[in-house]
A and B are shown apart, each in its own frame.
Chain A
């Protein structure tokens, strides 16, 4: 069975602080994909990144960066110099093997205060 754990239910930071959202996953598949989605108050899930299990290179996109470590089954997400517009619920998700289905964590509510 697949499982995604986002231990941080809520995080509150002040604008310009860096913040890291944790994601730990469980799967028996050797081939799998990891995702991060952002859900702002409007409700739409916005795709941020997709990573396959064979690519452990960290990725940076502007203020966003992702750290994938297979040894610890983690796929953490860091926002550098946070902004108020980053306030949202962030979901980590997993799909793998013969199962196309996305398994989501419970999400982390990030609040960035001015």
Chain B
């Protein structure tokens, strides 16, 4: 069974530029999560999807961050415009249901210059 796929793996941009991250969850997993991991810290949840519905986006900075999960499969997380403090690893995870184990992708490492 293929794991969670994320792209790109690395991204370097200048501040104020837009950036997008893509995630393909494990087949059959209805719940999808985006996490932010700062250096030396554990991941923190940004948003959770149940199928195509964002059921918890309370931690998502909506002034510059947006996400979508069209058709309830792949998801895209966007930052516009990026700030220096957005430099971090963005992790995508999926689970069969909200209460089952979350499996993580390799992450996208973002550097904002």
Q: What is A's interface to B at a CB cutoff of 8 Å? A: 4, 35, 37, 42-47, 50, 91, 93, 100-102, 104-107
User: Considering only CB atoms, which chain B residue lies closest to A9 in the complex?
Assistant: B40
B106 within 8 Å of A by Cβ? yes
Convert B1-26 into 0s and 1s, putting 1 for each residue whose CB lies closer than 8 angstroms to a CB of A: 00100000000000000000000000
> Which of B41-49, B61-69, B75-83 is the contact stretch?
B41-49
Instruction: Tally chain B residues at the interface, Cβ within 8 Å.
Output: 22
Contact status A101-B109, CB under 8 Å: no
CB pair B101 A107 closer than 8 Å: no
Interface of B is mostly: loop
Does A47 contact B103, Cβ atoms closer than 8 Å? yes
Chain A residue nearest in CB terms to B44: A104
Q: Are B101 and A47 in contact (CB under 8 A)?
A: yes
Contact in complex: A35, B101 (CB < 8 Å): yes
Chain B contact residues, CB within 8 Å of chain A: 3, 40-45, 48, 56, 89, 91, 93, 98-99, 101-107, 109
Besides the contacts A35-B101, A43-B106, A100-B98, what 14 more A-B pairs have beta carbons closer than 8 Å? Answer: A42-B106, A43-B89, A44-B3, A44-B106, A44-B107, A45-B43, A45-B93, A47-B103, A50-B101, A101-B56, A104-B42, A104-B43, A104-B44, A106-B41
Indicate whether A105 sits within 8 Å of B106 (C-beta atoms), given known contacts A43-B89, A45-B91, A100-B98.
no
A-B contact list, 28 entries, CB within 8 Å: A4-B42, A37-B104, A42-B106, A43-B106, A44-B106, A44-B107, A45-B43, A45-B91, A45-B93, A45-B104, A47-B101, A47-B104, A50-B101, A91-B43, A93-B42, A100-B48, A100-B98, A100-B99, A101-B45, A102-B43, A102-B45, A102-B102, A104-B44, A105-B42, A106-B40, A106-B42, A107-B41, A107-B42
